[in-house]
Amino acid sequence: DPNGVDFGIWKTIPMSVLSCPLDVHTGNVARKLGLISRKQNDAKALKELDQSLRILDENDPVKYDFALFGLGVFESF
């Protein structure tokens, strides 16, 4: 992408179909922000997060990954 985040390695996979990595940090922040309600970090929670992030940006829902992760790791949100 023009911001230098996506290095363009995956030419055949559109950004719109990618999922945000769901780890302990992104999961905790997503819950606090009301993006997911499920307690476990599992496939169902990932589907819920996908749906929420696609409402915010259906073309690039994964762009929120660094913000969710960073709030959890660096800001202890």
Is 44 a residue whose pLDDT tops 80? yes
Q: Is residue 54 part of a domain?
A: yes
pLDDT tens-digit readout, 12-31: 989 899 999 999 999 999 99
Is 60 in contact with 2 (CB distance < 8 Å)?
A: no
Q: How far is CA 56 from CA 9, 16, 19, in A?
A: 25, 12, 13
Q: Is residue 29 part of a domain?
A: yes
Q: How far is CA 31 from CA 2, 18, 24, 36, 73, in A?
A: 30, 20, 11, 5, 15
Find where tokens 């997911």 sit.
36
Host domain of residue 52? 15-73
Q: Is residue 8 part of a domain?
A: no
For the chain, the domain total comes to 1
Q: Is residue 4 part of a domain?
A: no
Predicted TM-score (pTM) of this structure: 0.83
